[in-house]
Amino acid sequence: MQVDKENWSLIIEPHEKWWNLRIKEIWSYRELVLIFVRRDIVAVYKQTILGPLWFFLAPIFTVVAYNFVFGSIAGMSTDGIPGPVFYLSGTTLWNYFSTCFTATSNTFTDNAAIFGKVYFPRMIAPIATVISTLFKFGVQLLMFFSLVAYYMFFTDSNLEITKWAWLFPLLVIMMGGLALGVGIILSAMTTKYRDLKNFIGFGVTLLMYVSPVIYPVSAVPDSYKWFVKFNPISPIIEAFRLGFTGVGTVDAIDLVYSGAFISVILLIGVILFHRVERTFMDTV
C-alpha cells in the first residue's frame, strides 16, 4: 500500500500552498484558451451584422468628442501632432486596457454557469478574454494606422515613425498583462466584497484621467509629473506615441519600472485568484 500511495495522479485537499500556482496545468490547457478566444470572436461576429462596425463607430465618436472638448474648447496640448491622431493613439491602447480590465474583473460572475459544473484552471477564462480582446484592438489599430498614413502622405504634418515602434508588441503585452493583473485581483475581491463592483466603472474613468490618454506627459506641470510617472500606464502610451507619431516623453527606465510594476501586480493577482477559485462556487 505504501508504494500504491505514490501512484495517485490527483489529490484533492481542502487547502493548497499559496505558491502552488499550477502554471504547468494552465499550460496544458492552452488549447482551451484558443477555443475560448475563437468562441468570443465568432460569437460577436454572428450576433449582429453591425457588430464589428461598433468597433469603429465608438472610437470615432470618442475622438470627435475629445477633439472638440479638450482640443477646441479647453485648448489642451497635443504635443504638436494633429488632434485626431493624438486622441486616437491614446484611446486605442486605453480601450484595450479598459475592455480587458472590465471583462476580467467579472470573471467569476460571468462564468459562474460553467465554473459550477466543470473543472478547468479558472485562469483560462481571463487569459482568453485578454487575447480575444486583441481582435477588437486590432480593428481599432488598423483605423489608427490609416489615420497616421493619411496625415503623413496627404498633409504636411510632422508625423514620423521612429524606432520605438519596434517595441509595439511588448507594449501590447504589457497593457494586456496589467489589465489581466488588476482584473483578476478585482475579480477575486468582488467574490467577497460585492460593493467593489460599483467602484470598477468609475475607477476606470478616474484611471483614464491620470493616464496620458487625452493629454501628453509633456503638458503635465512639473509638480504633478511624479504622479503621472508613477502610473505604469503612462510609459506604455507615451512609448506608443513616440513610435508612431514621433512625439512622446518616455525613456527606457520608465518602461522598465512599468514592466516591474506589472509583474508584481500579475503575481499578486494570480496568487489571490488562485486562493479564491477553489471555493468561490460556495459563495456565488
- Give residues in contact with other proteins (CB under 8 A): 1, 3-4, 7-15, 29, 31-32, 35-36, 38-39, 42-43, 46-47, 113-120, 189, 192-196, 278-279, 281-283
Separation between Cα atoms, residue 67 and residue 76, nearest integer Å: 10
Complex with other proteins: residue 8 or 226, whichever CB lies closer? 8
Question: Least separation, in Å, of the C-beta of 178 and other proteins?
Answer: 22
End-to-end CA distance of the chain: 40
Separation between Cα atoms, residue 235 and residue 219, nearest integer Å: 14
2 Cβ contact partners less than 8 Å away, ≥ 6 residues apart: none
Complex with other proteins: residue 44 or 266, whichever CB lies closer? 44
28 within 8 A of 57, measured Cβ to Cβ: no
Q: Cα 219 vs. chain centroid, distance in angstroms?
A: 25
Question: Least separation, in Å, of the C-beta of 98 and other proteins?
Answer: 22
* Residue carrying the nine cell digits 471583462: 103
Question: Least separation, in Å, of the C-beta of 15 and other proteins?
Answer: 8
Separation between Cα atoms, residue 52 and residue 59, nearest integer Å: 12
Distances from the Cα of 173 to the Cα of 121, 166, 226, 257, 258, angstroms:
21, 13, 24, 15, 12
Complex with other proteins: residue 33 or 100, whichever CB lies closer? 33
Question: Least separation, in Å, of the C-beta of 139 and other proteins?
Answer: 19
Interior angle at CA 233, CA 159 and CA 27, nearest 5: 110
Separation between Cα atoms, residue 147 and residue 142, nearest integer Å: 9
Sign of CA dihedral 78, 161, 148, 232: negative
Question: Least separation, in Å, of the C-beta of 113 and other proteins?
Answer: 8
Complex with other proteins: residue 31 or 156, whichever CB lies closer? 31
Complex with other proteins: residue 122 or 229, whichever CB lies closer? 122
Separation between Cα atoms, residue 129 and residue 72, nearest integer Å: 36
Complex with other proteins: residue 126 or 248, whichever CB lies closer? 126
Complex with other proteins: residue 115 or 240, whichever CB lies closer? 115
Question: Least separation, in Å, of the C-beta of 260 and other proteins?
Answer: 28
Question: Least separation, in Å, of the C-beta of 230 and other proteins?
Answer: 24
